[in-house]
Amino acid sequence: MKLAQQLGIDKNIARLMVAQTMLGTAKIILDDERDISELVRFVKSKKGTTEAGLRVAKELGFSSVLKSIVEQAIKRAEEIRKLSEGG
């Protein structure tokens, strides 16, 4: 929410925007059998906001960041599992 405020967006509006975006995305993924890459092509408009955001994400290497996040979460989950088993 700090980023939204830095961009001049009200904190409550930003929170609602994030929640609605996540909810809508999850609903589309759960309700549609198509591959996610196909769904992305379906929802993005030529020269629209989604396309612009995806372009920046690609340029900044967002998939590498996301991969690292998931890898660290898996690693930590394994550490927690071992601790809970006493080992």
- Do both 28 and 52 map to the same domain? no
- Do both 55 and 87 map to the same domain? yes
- Do both 53 and 32 map to the same domain? no
- Do both 39 and 51 map to the same domain? no
Percent of all residues in the chain with a pLDDT value above 90, rounded to a whole number? 85
27 pLDDT more than 90: yes
- Do both 59 and 21 map to the same domain? no
Residue 87 pLDDT grade (very low, low, confident, very high; cuts 50, 70, 90): low
- Is 40 in contact with 54 (CB distance < 8 Å)? yes
- Is 34 in contact with 42 (CB distance < 8 Å)? yes
- Do both 38 and 73 map to the same domain? no
Q: Is 40 exposed, middle or buried, given 0-12, 13-18 or 19+ CB atoms closer than 10 A?
A: middle
- Do both 30 and 52 map to the same domain? no
Looking at residue 43, what is its pLDDT?
A: 87
Q: Domain containing 35: what range?
A: 1-43
User: Is the whole model's pTM more than 0.75, yes or no?
Assistant: no
Residue 86 pLDDT grade (very low, low, confident, very high; cuts 50, 70, 90): confident
